[in-house]
Structure 1
Amino acid sequence: MASVSVSHLIIFIASLVVAAGVAGTLTTGVERVSNAVEDGSLDVSQQVRTDIDIVSDPDSPSLNGNNNLTIHVRNTGSQGIFIQPDSIDMVVNGEFVPNSDLTVTDANGDRTTARTGDVMEITVDNTDTEYIPDGEDNRVYLTINSDEEVYEFRS
């Protein structure tokens, strides 16, 4: 009779160890999912609060003597945007423009952040690479915090 109770005790202890392992694994999994949802919601919140509009005239693009393109962008979202090339992704006529070819300034003054309603002036340095051919239709894709705008013009 004692051998039966010993074997039952061993099975009971083994089942407790397995249950504790399963509970620990489930707790860790739920915590990871919770953290992923929280991180995703912060990213979506930032994207929703960011909104931009290109206010440059497509019928009269701003091209200077070096064929540099200047685009004016208004922050219409509720979140400020850093006025620096690192915060902008730009594709001109299918070619990605590296940050080293962008100059970003505050069109209304000399702030470092474009607040709601502020206009930024983005200049594409076109002296090294021909991003903008003369007399052709051109397309600029501008992305800031996952908000995309398209600017089409004829040079």
Structure 2
Amino acid sequence: MQDETSALHLFLNDENGDTAVTHMIFFIAAVIIAVGVVGALSTNVQSIMGATSENSEVVSDQLKTDITIISDPEVIPYNTTSDYYTFYAKNTGKSDIAPEYVDVILDGEYIQGKNLNMSLQDSPGVWKPSGVIIINVTTGDPLDPGDHRLKITTDNGISDTIDFKT
């Protein structure tokens, strides 16, 4: 019985065992905290990588898109019967452009609806590379004599501007 009591006494008073248990608790707590930090960081990294991927697609699309207004700024056709000016623009890029997403601004005023008619010269539906789009802008009355500006913008922000006189 003496041996059992001394063995129990040694076990209960073993400072190395207390230290090992304390270290084990701290180790488990550190692992739990590390797993939480890794989970939070991986979520942020995935979010950043997704945004970077989307941004690179937009930039790639912008690099492939280009338009040029090919109307002669000295002679802009005006239809006196229907009161509209006709402008011509060419898709000088490498990607197709949807005409329904092309915006037209004349002298700082956004042109839309019944005052804007766009038709493709070469192919219906999609403005193909090297294709020409015909843009008729109805003004109601002829523009005042002097300097004017027309801006055509695609859905991804690529634009061209022409300054002309009437």
Asked if these proteins are the same fold (TM beyond 0.5), I'd say yes
Amino acid in structure 1 at the alignment position of 2:69:
I
SS of corresponding position for 1:116? coil
Q: What whole-Å deviation, never above 9, does each CA across 1:7-26 have from its counterpart, x for those lacking one?
A: 22221111111000111111
Shift of 1:3: 3.5
TM-score, normalised to structure 2's length? 0.81
**91, 98, 103: which one pairs with 1:82?**
98
- Tell me the number of residue pairs that the alignment of Structure 1 and Structure 2 aligns: 149
Shift of 1:99: 4.9
The aligned counterpart of 1:50 is 65
Query: Identity across aligned pairs (percent)?
Result: 30
Is the aligned partner of 1:152 residue 2:163?
yes
Provide closer, same or farther for how the CA distance between residues 47 and 14 of structure 1 changes in structure 2, counting only shifts above 3 A: same
**6, 31, 46: which one pairs with 1:16?**
31
- Structure in which a larger fraction of residues adopt strand: 1
Distance in 2 separating the partners of 1:100 and 1:42: 34
Q: What whole-Å deviation, never above 9, does each CA across 1:56-89 have from its counterpart, x for those lacking one?
A: 11111122124312211111111111233xx112
1:3-152 matches, within 5 Å, as 3-65=18-80, 66-84=82-100, 87-99=101-113, 101-108=115-122, 111-127=124-140, 133-144=143-154, 145-152=156-163
Distance in 1 separating the partners of 2:66 and 2:113: 21
Distance in 2 separating the partners of 1:43 and 1:147: 11
Shift of 1:100: 5.2
Gaps of 5+ in 2: 1-14
Amino acid in structure 2 at the alignment position of 1:21:
G
Distance in 1 separating the partners of 2:114 and 2:28: 65
When the two chains are superposed, the root-mean-square deviation of aligned CA atoms in Å is: 1.8
Distance in 1 separating the partners of 2:31 and 2:44: 20
Distance in 2 separating the partners of 1:106 and 1:96: 21
Amino acid in structure 1 at the alignment position of 2:127:
A
SS of corresponding position for 2:104? strand
TM-score, normalised to structure 1's length? 0.86
Shift of 1:4: 3.1
Gaps of 5+ in 1: none
Aligned structure 1 segments of 4 or more residues deviating by more than 4 angstroms: none
